[in-house]
Structure formats: structure tokens, C-alpha cells
Amino acid sequence: MSIPLSWYLILSAALFSIGLFGVLARKNAVAILLGIELMLNAVNINLVSFWRYGNIASISGQVFAIIVFAVAAAEVAVGLALIISVYRRRTTVIANDLDLLKW
Amino acid sequence: MSTETIIWLLPLPPLLAFFIIILFTNKGKSLSHCIAVIAAALSWLGSMVVFVRALGVEHFGKEVFQSSINWLPTGNTWLKIGVLIDPLSAITIFFVAWTVLMIFVYSVGYHNYGQPKGDHDRKGLPPHGATIIDENGHSHTVPSIEPMYSRFFAFIGLFAFGMYTLVVSDNLLTMFVGWEIMGLCSYLLIGFWFGKPSARNAAVKAFMTTRIGDVFMLLGIAFVYYATKSLSFRDILNEHTLSVLSSTTTPILGLSAAGLISLLLFIGTIGKSAQFPLHVWLPDAMEGPTPVSAMIHAATMVSAGVYTVIRMFPLISAGFDGYHLTTTMSIIAFIGAFTALFAATIAVAQNDIKRVLAYSTISQLGFMIAALGMGAYVAAVFHLVTHAFFKALLFLGSGSVIHGMEHGVLHTGDHSVDPQDMFNMGGLRKKMPITFWTFLIGGFALSGFPVLTAGFWSKDEILADAFGNGHFVIFLTLAIAAFLTAFYTMRQITLTFLGTPRTKSAEHAHETPWTMTLPLVILSVFAIGFGWVGIPDKFPLLGGILPNWFHEFVGGTLAEAPEVLPFNFMPLLTSLVVALGGLLVGWFVYRNVRSAAEDKLQFKLLKNKYYFDEIYDLLFVKPAYWFAETFAYKFLDQTIIDGFINRIGGVAQSIGTGFRRYFDAPVVNGFGDFLGESTKRIGRKMAPIIQRGRIQYYMVTSLTVAIIVVVLYFFFKA
């Protein structure tokens, strides 16, 4: 066991931050969705690495990671469907233009 | 049924009748009077059974009928109530049952049962008469039925219940209950025609006046209970308790406990039996219907007062050596004798036929009280019984006369004629023969017409006792009273029945229906015959033909049967002279009097009853009103209590206002308003800045807040 846990956590945190930046900074809705995927996978790395360095007998970390995959897949399906729907109606996928939801 | 069971049940039928009439049969007049009369008849039957069985017991005074049950737990013991029939109550129940039944039957006729409804009769006023048109097309005015017919029977039923309860009680408590029920009923019945202000006032007056006596009586009962731990007659009136009570001294007037108790109980009797100085209510009570007058003034309520003192006689006479009267007995004898004379003088100048009888009742009750005060126990009981019969007879007779006169008044249509004023009558003997003869018998019995009538024997016995025991002052007083009694009775008979009619109404008077005359006839039998059971053994010629059963029977009530006095001609002669003399003088003076103006005896002082009403008005009523109005209402209630309460209210109000003005409004409300307003303002200002509808702004905001929260959390956790 030569690689310490912290490296994985740093990787995971970096990936999460890149994803977050993508979500907050990109204009294209599809890119925002991609950012979300990055953040979810950062979480997966966290889960798996904690399982590997923690109690190996327990498989809950792996199971949780699989559930996250499943949720991510569903989320992408719904998200892309929404984006397509919005594009058909507004002919744009730029998040800044979709500002109807305000007080 | 055992005798005791019957005695327990005696008061029940009239009570049931009361409730049935009040609750269910109020609408049905004939049903109501049937129920009432049947109830009275049942009680009468039970009383007769009890009386006859009592006669069958040898030495009944020693072996009485009694039974009692535990009623109220008092610590370790029980307050018992029960029934007791000894010779005294047996004889009382005998005359009560008869007179009550007669009065019930009489009431049916008196309240014009079977007559049409009045043209404009209203509840609370005497019936005014109805107009009917006969087959020839002539219209007549005839008496109309009493509008509150059923209610009357309900009330007298309750009244009878009170009387039966009082008589059969074996203790002071239930006796007092019966006593008070009668007080209530007398109020209700005197004020029966409550539409008349005079009847209302008379009802209140009777109630208030008797209440004064009742308060003292209740004190006496409380004292008995305190002193003996029992209220039962058997416990109080035995030799041991009596000797303890008579040797205990009290701080009041140097009386013994026995003396003080009997004095307190006697004050109750003064109120109930209308003795001086609480006699004022009885004449006014004549405002009630006449059967009520008979009920209150003959059979029941006033007799109840005398019955109570007779019942407590062993207590009253505790410490009495047979010659020197105790203080209490002297007071009782004095009040009785004084009342007898005093009321007789007033009766001489009264013109209302019922008022004469009212004063004669007060006077006769005085005789009994005086007899009791002298220790003449049997004579007092004897006069109580005979008086109940002949006075009930007289009252019912006077009611019959008034009824006949009202008939005449309605016939002539002259409503200015007062059907109760004797000077409007005259010559009624031809118009109303049955009423005349029975009234004559009653009147002669009241006067003490020698030998034949019951009143002679009982009054003679009282006089003989007064003379024989050496109470000459009382003897003289009573003799004068007896003379006046005969005088005013003859005056009444002469003015009412003899001579020629003085008014058209009297000419058209009419004999009353059989429901009214039948009771008169039955009662007149007793008014004559009842005297014969008590003829003294030593009486010249007649003595010994009939045994002196009454003396033996009633005398058996006492532990030591009273001795029969040796016969003396002096009192006999006196009673002969005063009775016959009074009757003769009365007839002689009034045989030709045509109007009240010709009556020489209409002294203002007597006419106004020695101004007692006025004196009491000045001494008690006016001060009471003043006290109530000026002191209690204006000063105490309005100034002090209301003032105090208003002041507290005012202070509380100003404190509240202060709080509201200086704390609630500026501080509490201000802070709340400030909070709400500033939140609103911040929201207004912030909305365009943070809510732009751009998803990424929102996310940045969320992230910022989340970071701040996490940083703060860790910062403060550390």
C-alpha cells in the first residue's frame, strides 16, 4: 500500500472543484450537465477510496458508488431530455438566456 | 296494615294530591277536586282507624304507637325521625281529619263548582260572576267558577300534608318541617287572589310576622338539641332529662334551661297562633278565600301553634310544684289571658263578619294558652278540640253567608254593597235556614251556651281550673273575655241573621249548595256533641251520666295524670252568667240597630285595633324600610360597596391604560412593527439583486452560503 489515502482525496477534491467550476462558469447547459457528472464521479472516488482504506469486509462503499452511477445515468437522461425540450422551444441552450424564473 | 304503617302513611295522600294536581291535572277542574277530596278522605280514613285503635288500647298513655327510623348520621349516633301517636296526638288527629275533610268538601261549593266561566274573570282575582240567558230569554248574573280552581285544591292539599306531618311527628325537627310547610301554604293561600293588593300585603304580613316567631322557635330547637343531644319527644320529655334541664341555669333572666327552651318555643307559638304581640297578621289573613280562613284559623295552623306548646307542656312545667307558677308559665299565662281579653274587645267593634271571627279566634287561642300557662293541661286540649270544631263551623258558616250575599249582590247588580259587612245583612235566617241554624250552633258553642254546646264544657273547665288553683286575676280576665265573646257573637248573629234585611242584596241572598251545607251540618254535630265526652264527674245533675272520658284519655299523655279538681259552684255560676248574660245583652243591644252609625260601640280605638298596625308600622316597618333604603341600599351598597368596587375598577383601568400607552404601544408593538417592516424593506431591496432568474447566480449564492455556514460551523465548534 504505497499510495496514501490523501492522494485519492486530493484527486477527488480537484475533480469536484473542476466540476463545480464547470457548473458555475459554463454557459452551455450541456456543459453544466457535464460538470455535474464530474462532481458525481468525484464523490464516487471518495466512496471507493474510503472503502479501500477502511473496512474492506464491508461492501457498502462499492454499493453506494454503483447506486451513484445509476442515479447519474438517470439524471443525464432526464437532463438531456430537458435540454432538448428547451432547445426546441427557445432555440437556445445558453443558461443565461433562460431567466424566466425570477421575482 | 299495622297501626304504625298507617300512621306513617297519614300525611302522604294530600302530598300526592298536591303533586298530581300541580303536575298533571291542573287543566281538569273536576278531576283535580276529586283527587284532592279523595286524598283528604284517605287521610281521614287512616286517622279514624288510628283513633279507633288507640281507643282500644288500655292505658294508652303508657303504650303509645310509635316507630322511628335513622335519618341523619351525627357522628356516632343517628338523628332519628319517626311517628308518635299518643292520646294528645290521637285526639288532635281526630279533629284535624274531620275539619280538613269538611273544608275540602266545602271548597268545592265555595269556589262555585258547576257554575259557568266568568265573563271577565282573571286569574288572581275573585270571580266576578257570569251572565247566562235562560230559556225565557232573560239574562241573569250568576256566580262564576274560580279561575284558579285546581290550584286552590293543590295548595290546601299541601297544607293538609303539613298539618298531618306536624301532628304525627315524634320529634321537633319534622314537626318544624310541617310547621314551615304550613307557613308557606298560608302565605300562598292568603295571597291566593294575588290580583288584590290587600291580599298581597296580607300574605307578606302573615309570612313575615310568623317568621319572627319561627326564628325563636328554631333557636329553641337548637337549644334543645344542644342540651339533650336529641330532638325526639320521648327523649326530651322523660323525667330524667327534664330534671336535668330544669336544674341547669342559663344567664338569661335567671331562667332554667327548661324555662328558656320553652320560652323560645312559645315565641314560635305566639307567631303561629297569633298571640299578642304578634297577633296582627291573623285579621288581615281574612283576605284569603273563606275555606282558607277556616283551614288556617280553626283546623290547622293556629291549632298547630297551641298543639306545640301542649306537646312541650312537660318541659314548660318542669320545676312546677303545682301551685307556684314558674317564670315561663307566668309569662305564658299572662300573654294568653291578656290576648283573650284584648282580642275580644277589638272583636266587639268589627263590622266584617270574618274579622269578628278572626279576633274571636285570637281570643279563644288566648284561653288555651292561658289554661296551659296555669298548668290546666286537659282543659287546654279540650278547648283546642272543641274550638277547632266550632270555629271551623263558624268560618265555613260565614263563608256560606258571604256566598249567599254575593249571590244577592250579583242578582241586584249593586256592586257597592260589601258582602262581608254585617250591616248589609240581616234577616238571613229565612233565606239561608241551614246556614243560620248551624251558625247559631257554632256561635252558641263559641259563647259557651250552657250544657248543650261543646264550648261551654271546655271553657267552663278552663275557668274552673283558674279558680280552683287560685289564679284569680286570670280567672277574672278570662271571665270578662268570655262575657265579651258571648256579646260579640250574639251581635254577629243578630246583625247577620235576625231582624229584617238591610239591603236589597240581603233580600236576594240564597242558600248555598249541598257541598257547603253538608260540612256545616256535620261540624255542628261535633260542636254540640264533643263537649259531652268531657263532663266533669262531680257536675251537678249531669256529672257521672257520661264518664269523663276525655280527662282520663288525654290526661294519660302526661307521666303523672293530672288530678280532677273538686267541683266548685263559683266558676260554674260565672260561666253561666257570662255566657247567658253576654248573649242576652248582645241580642238586646243589636236587635234594632239598622246601620253602623247607630252602633254605640264603634269606638275609634277598637275600630282601629288599638292602632297596633300603625304602631308597628312606625316602630318596625318604617325603620326597616328606612334601614333598607337609606342605610343598606344608599349608604352601604351604593356608597361603600359600589364605591369600593368602582374605585378598584377605576384604578385597574388607569393602570391598564398606562401600560397600553407607555409600554405596549411604543415598546412591544414598536419592536414587532420594526422587525416586520425592516424584513419587508430588506426583502424589497434584495430581490432584484439576488433573484435574477439565472440558475448559475442561484448556484453561486447557494455555494457561498454553504461555505459560510461550514466555515462558521467549524469556527464555532472549535
> CA-based diameter of chain B, in Å?
143
What's the distance, Cα to Cα, between the start and end of chain B in Å?
101
B554 shares a domain with B505: yes
Amino acid of residue B569: F
For residue B179, is it within any domain?
no
B522 shares a domain with B429: yes
The count of other CB atoms within 10 Å of the CB of residue B627 is: 13
Q: Which residue is associated with the grid cell 254593597?
A: B417
B570 shares a domain with B623: no
**How far apart, in whole angstroms, are the C-alpha atoms of residue B62 and residue B50?**
16
pLDDT value for B292: 84
Measured CA angle at B37 (ends B36, B42), to 5 deg: 100
- Read off the DSSP letter of residue B74: E
Quote the distance between the C-alpha of residue B465 and its chain's center: 30
Is A100 in Cβ contact with B696 (below 8 Å)?
A: no
Is the ipTM value over 0.85, yes or no?
A: no
**How far apart, in whole angstroms, are the C-alpha atoms of residue B107 and residue B40?**
12
pLDDT value for A1: 56
Q: What residues form DSSP beta bridges with B220?
A: none
The low-confidence residues of chain B, meaning pLDDT below 70, are 298-299, 321-323, 541, 543-545, 561
B622 shares a domain with B565: no
Is A24 in Cβ contact with B696 (below 8 Å)?
A: yes
For residue B41, is it within any domain?
no
Q: Rounded to 5 degrees, what are φ and ψ at B235?
A: -75, -40
Residue A14 banded pLDDT, cuts 50, 70, 90: very high
Is A95 in Cβ contact with B695 (below 8 Å)?
A: yes
pLDDT value for B650: 94
pLDDT value for B543: 66
pLDDT tens sequence across B372-398: 888 888 888 889 999 988 888 898 888
Q: Which fold has domain A5-92?
A: Helix Hairpins (1.10.287)
| Of the residues B580, B602, B624, the one at which a domain ends | B602
Quote the distance between the C-alpha of residue B599 and its chain's center: 33
Q: Does B691 touch chain A (CB under 8 A)?
A: yes
| Of the residues B541, B570, B602, the one at which a domain ends | B602
B482 shares a domain with B509: yes
**B255 and B243 in contact (C-beta within 8 Å)?**
no
CA pseudo-torsion sign A42, A48, A51, A52: negative
Q: What is the pTM of this model?
A: 0.77
Amino acid of residue A83: I
B540 shares a domain with B674: no
Cell of residue B254, nine digits: 335567671
Domain count within chain B: 2
For residue B424, is it within any domain?
yes
CA-CA distances (angstroms) from residue B71 to B32, B79, B174?
Answer: 33, 6, 11
DSSP three-state, residue B278: coil
All residues of chain B having their beta carbon less than 8 Å from the beta carbon of residue A102 are 691-694
Query: Can you tell me the mean pLDDT for A94-101?
Result: 80
All residues of chain B having their beta carbon less than 8 Å from the beta carbon of residue A100 are 693
pLDDT tens sequence across A15-69: 999 999 999 888 899 999 999 999 999 999 999 999 888 888 888 888 999 999 9
**B234 and B240 in contact (C-beta within 8 Å)?**
no
For residue B220, is it within any domain?
no
Q: Rounded to 5 degrees, what are φ and ψ at B502?
A: -95, -20
All residues of chain A having their beta carbon less than 8 Å from the beta carbon of residue B693 are 99-102
For residue B328, is it within any domain?
no
Q: Which domain holds residue B654?
A: 615-691
pLDDT value for B240: 81
For residue B170, is it within any domain?
no
| Of the residues B569, B602, B635, the one at which a domain ends | B602
Element (H, E) at B643: helix B642-659
The count of other CB atoms within 10 Å of the CB of residue B7 is: 29
B684 shares a domain with B551: no
For residue B294, is it within any domain?
no
For residue B51, is it within any domain?
no
All residues of chain A having their beta carbon less than 8 Å from the beta carbon of residue B695 are 95, 98, 101
**Separation in Å, CA of B697 to nearest CA in chain A:** 8
SS (H, E, C) A49-71: HHHHHCCCCCCHHHHHHHHHHHH
